[in-house]
Amino acid sequence: MNASDTALAVRARTAFLRACRLDVETKKPGNVSVASAGHGMTSAQFIASAGTAAAGLFTPHARVGVRILEAVRRTFDAVGCNTNLGIVLLAAPLCAALDALDANASIDAAQWHRATQRVLAELDIDDARLAYRAIALANPGGLGDAPEQTVHAPPTVTLRAAMTLAADRDSIARQYENGFADVFGAAGAAGAVAPSTEHRAMLDTFLTFLSNWPDSHIVRKHGAAVAQSVTRDAARHRANWRMAGCPVESAAFDDWDAELKARGINPGTSADLAVAALFVALAVSSKNA
């Protein structure tokens, strides 16, 4: 690995860790944050998970399945629970794609997107086997239970094919089907992310995902009707928040956060997608730093 490769990898890893920290630094309704623990987890567990998962995700030239399994194993060794499976499933192809970029210490979003699409096209049955093991280890309550290609049996198709089978019911699986179109689209919408705007960008991205379609994690835990009601609430809250000038602190969001947690509702998939999008946006924003 030459100096330029190292510089690119350092920038990307820094962006990933910052996106994960923003996930808990930003008070996002229903999610665990520094200001508001919930769902039996704390922000410290999420921060520790990011640091240990990064070692697996950024293994140079490793297969996607290897990155997924190593990141999940390291997470469980560190915190003993599932804090970041969705983030890992999204980050692994993105990290693998970085290996194919020009070794010039800059990250171009369009090139990265194309490289990610090539990585997805090359996924094989071994990637599926390793990802299944990771999902089974994380045991995320319903994820991986399906009539076809359940993670509790050996896969018979590639990882992308398995994800495509789940794409209509899982927003993370949909990224594998559509070439991460939603992640790169949200990253582009976030634009250049500066330190003064990064918390606002995280919250806006989270609310955009949550208001555009029902959160997969909520659907699995509480059913489609509850998930759809949260999506409607998110659209209303987001519109009011934007009309108020997008403040980082919001009493309305605090109240909604308390209500969601009291009901045990966690928009976890929307948070995972927001982390992936901010990972991309932060990495691209840092290219000329």
Residue 106, pLDDT score: 76
* Contact of 200 with 248, CB cutoff 8 Å: yes
Comparing 59 with 144, which gets the higher pLDDT? 59
pLDDT tens-digit map of 23-73: 999 999 999 988 888 787 888 988 999 999 999 999 999 999 999 999 999
| pLDDT tens by residue, 230-251 | 999 999 999 999 999 999 889 9
What pLDDT, on the 0 to 100 scale, is given for residue 244? 94
100 SS3 class: coil
| Mean pLDDT, residues 118-140 taken together | 93
Domain 3-285 in this protein, CATH class = mainly alpha
Question: Closest Cα partner for 68 from 88, 93, 48, 95?
Answer: 88
Identity of residue 228: Q
Does the pLDDT of residue 142 top 50, yes or no? no
Q: Where are the beta strands (DSSP E) in the chain?
A: none
